[in-house]
């Protein structure tokens, strides 16, 4: 059962949260809208469709700054109005006052993780398809096929065959810029097939404008053949290929774990994707930690110019975290540090700062 204190704090916190979220999303949309509308010869309808699919991702990205701002505004306003002092005199500690904020922030972060894992991977595909086909259509109108925003230059292994696909349209099952590398039992290169395009079926690919180079022990020089078309056997299912051609943004956490496990079994390096997997967990949790960190700033002292000062502190905290976090993730993707360490190192720093600041707060 919620007390009057809880209801009061939650009401004020959610008020500032939704106002802040609306303002930051609006600023982002206006800036990005003007940029894209002036850069590409597109229509208002296409841009509205693009931002409709983009909105869940924007909300997810703006969650930390909205939570920090609402926390700062809620506590600093209560401090400025001497409400905190009134609660202190009745025996209510700052920890009890802020408990509803912590709980609501935790629930919002859990909801954000669920949205990022269940909804965003699906809408990102539609967003990228809309961007390529409707927003940037003039830039890409000379392409031989329309792309769906799938990641370029993807490698995968099919037994003794290594395949590199430059671009793949999973809707029409057509690929561009195909390279196939055949290996023997000693893992020596025996044949290379290059093709301009390919039509993918369940167990074979039909290649067009093919160049084939054979490396045989009987001849000193490689033997080269040219074909208008050639059918090659590729046993990997298209459903597997769909996952391997997607970036981490297109995959849920479970899809990404499956992708990493399968590539590790094939002997490929997966540090980039392991880091992205940890990022899916840690980004939402970072919003919660930043909320905890913002509370001591709000109760430490009363400040003149409250609103603008709080916005400045909010932006400084989020920007500082983002710089450190993206730097750590880049080290993880490059394999310099372990992916888990890269994803959690900034969070550990926030926790240390939070405990230090709370130890200095008068309760």
Task: List pLDDT tens digits, range 17-53.
Answer: 999 999 999 999 888 888 777 777 777 888 888 899 9
Domain co-membership, 116 together with 191: no
In angstroms, the CA 19 to CA 302 distance is 22
Of 309, 295, 312, residue with least CA distance to 355:
295
Domain co-membership, 108 together with 160: no
Tokens of 168: 């793949």
Mean pLDDT over residues 282-295, rounded? 90
Asked whether the predicted pLDDT for residue 345 surpasses 90, the reply is yes
Domains in the chain, number: 2
Domain co-membership, 8 together with 109: yes
Domain co-membership, 120 together with 205: no
CB atoms < 10 A from the CB of 31, how many? 10
Tokens of 125: 């595909």
pTM for the complete prediction? 0.70
Domain co-membership, 303 together with 212: no
Give 42's contacts (C-beta < 8 A, 6+ positions apart).
Answer: 36, 134, 135, 136, 137, 138
pLDDT score of 305: 47
Lowest mean pLDDT among 93-107, 209-223, 281-295: 209-223
Q: Which of 228, 245, 262 is the last residue of a domain?
A: 245
Domain co-membership, 342 together with 304: yes
Residue of 23 and 174 predicted with greater confidence: 23
pLDDT score of 165: 83
Tokens of 283: 């980004």
pLDDT score of 359: 80
Domain co-membership, 10 together with 99: yes
Mean pLDDT over residues 51-77, rounded? 90
In a domain, 257, yes or no: no
Express each pLDDT in 122-156 by its tens digit. 888 788 778 777 776 644 444 434 444 454 566 77
Residues spanned by the domain of 81: 4-128+272-359
In angstroms, the CA 20 to CA 318 distance is 14
In a domain, 267, yes or no: no
pLDDT score of 90: 85
Domain co-membership, 280 together with 236: no
Q: Classify strands 223-233 and 204-214 as parallel, antiparallel or unpaired.
A: antiparallel
Mean pLDDT over residues 269-281, rounded? 90
Reported as a pLDDT band with limits 50, 70 and 90, residue 261 is confident
């Amino acid at each position: 059962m919620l007390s009057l204190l809880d209801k009061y704090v939650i009401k004020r916190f959610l008020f500032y949260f939704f106002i802040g979220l609306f303002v930051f999303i609006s600023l982002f949309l206006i800036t990005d809208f003007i940029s894209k509308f002036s850069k590409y010869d597109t229509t208002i309808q296409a841009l509205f469709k693009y931002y409709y699919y983009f909105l869940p991702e924007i909300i997810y990205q703006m969650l930390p700054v909205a939570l920090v701002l609402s926390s700062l505004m809620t506590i600093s306003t209560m401090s400025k109005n001497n409400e905190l002092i009134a609660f202190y005199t009745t025996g209510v500690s700052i920890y009890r006052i802020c408990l509803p904020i912590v709980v609501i922030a935790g629930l919002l972060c859990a909801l954000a993780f669920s949205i990022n894992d269940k909804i965003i991977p699906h809408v990102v595909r539609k967003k990228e398809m809309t961007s390529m086909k409707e927003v940037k259509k003039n830039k890409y109108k000379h392409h031989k096929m329309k792309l769906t925003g799938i990641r370029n230059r993807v490698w995968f292994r099919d037994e003794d065959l290594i395949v590199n696909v430059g671009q793949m349209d999973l809707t029409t099952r057509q690929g561009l810029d195909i390279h196939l590398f055949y290996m023997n039992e000693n893992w020596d290169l025996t044949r290379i097939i290059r093709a301009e395009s390919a039509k993918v079926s369940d167990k074979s690919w039909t290649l067009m404008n093919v160049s084939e180079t054979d490396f045989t022990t009987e001849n000193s020089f490689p033997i080269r053949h040219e074909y208008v078309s050639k059918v090659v056997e590729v046993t990997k299912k298209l459903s597997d290929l769909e996952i391997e051609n997607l970036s981490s943004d297109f995959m849920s956490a479970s899809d990404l774990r499956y992708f990493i496990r399968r590539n590790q079994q094939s002997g490929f390096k997966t540090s980039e994707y392991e880091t992205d997997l940890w990022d899916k967990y840690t980004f939402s949790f970072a919003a919660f930690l930043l909320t905890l960190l913002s509370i001591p700033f709000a109760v430490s002292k009363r400040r003149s110019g409250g609103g603008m000062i709080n916005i400045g502190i909010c932006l400084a905290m989020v920007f500082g975290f983002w710089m450190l976090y993206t730097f750590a993730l880049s080290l993880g993707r490059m394999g310099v540090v372990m992916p888990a360490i890269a994803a959690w190192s900034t969070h550990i720093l926030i926790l240390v700062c939070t405990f230090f600041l709370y130890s200095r707060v008068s309760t």
